[in-house]
Amino acid sequence: MTEKRTVGRRAALGLATAAGVVGATARPAGAATGGRPRGPRPVSRPRATGELGRIRLTWEGEAYEPLVDHYAVYGSESAGFPISPQTLLTKTVFSTFAHNGMGGRSRRWHYRVVVVDAAGERSGPCPEFSASSTESVTVSGRPLATVGSFDHKSLELALAPAGYAQYPARFPSGVNVTSGSGAEAGWSYIHPGPMDSWAGRRSHRFTFRFRLDAVPAGAPWLAMWLVDTHASSPGAALFALNGTQVREVPLERGATRGSLEGDATLPGTVLKPSYVEFALPTSALVAGENVLTIDKNTGSWHVYDALGIFLR
Residues 230, 141 within the same domain: yes
Residues 151, 109 within the same domain: no
Beta strands (DSSP E) in 141-193 are 142-148, 175-178, 190-191
Residue 230 clears pLDDT 70, i.e. is over it = yes
Residues 44, 83 within the same domain: yes
pLDDT band at 306 (very low <50, low <70, confident <90, very high): very high
- Average pLDDT on 55-83 reads 90
pLDDT of residue 7: 44
pLDDT of residue 148: 98
Residue 15 clears pLDDT 70, i.e. is over it = no
Residues 164, 123 within the same domain: no
Domain finish residue from 94, 117, 132: 132
Residue 24 clears pLDDT 70, i.e. is over it = no
CATH number reported for the structural domain that contains residue 61 in this entry:
2.60.40.10
Domain finish residue from 84, 114, 132: 132
Residues 107, 213 within the same domain: no
Residue 30 clears pLDDT 60, i.e. is over it = no
pLDDT digits over 99-149, tens only?
998 999 999 999 999 999 999 999 999 999 999 999 999 999 999 999 999
Residues 66, 202 within the same domain: no
Count of residues in the chain:
312
pLDDT of residue 62: 75
pLDDT of residue 64: 60
Under 8 Å between Cβ of 160 and 262: yes
CATH number reported for the structural domain that contains residue 248 in this entry:
2.60.120.260
Q: In 3D, which of 139, 115, 131, 113 has the Cα closest to residue 77? A: 131
Range of the domain at 8: 2-132
pLDDT digits over 256-269, tens only?
999 999 999 999 99
Question: How many other β-carbons are positioned within 10 Å of the β-carbon of residue 94?
Answer: 12
Position 232, amino acid: S
- Average pLDDT on 151-173 reads 98
Residues 188, 249 within the same domain: yes
- Average pLDDT on 29-57 reads 79
Residues 122, 148 within the same domain: no
Under 8 Å between Cβ of 207 and 174: yes
- The whole-model pTM stands at 0.84
- Average pLDDT on 59-81 reads 88
Pairing mode, strands 175-178 and 204-212: parallel
pLDDT of residue 12: 52
Mean pLDDT, rounded, of the chain = 90
Residues 156, 128 within the same domain: no
Residues 6+ apart with CB under 8 A from 34: none
Beta strands (DSSP E) in the chain are 44-51, 54-60, 68-76, 88-92, 96-99, 108-117, 129-132, 142-148, 175-178, 190-191, 204-212, 220-229, 236-241, 244-250, 274-279, 288-298, 302-311
pLDDT exceeding 90 applies to what percent of the chain?
A: 83
Residues 186, 125 within the same domain: no
Residue 29 clears pLDDT 50, i.e. is over it = no
pLDDT of residue 50: 98
pLDDT digits over 174-205, tens only?
999 999 999 999 999 999 999 999 999 999 99
Residues 120, 65 within the same domain: yes
How many domains in the chain? 2
Domain finish residue from 132, 148, 164: 132
pLDDT of residue 39: 80
Residues 112, 231 within the same domain: no
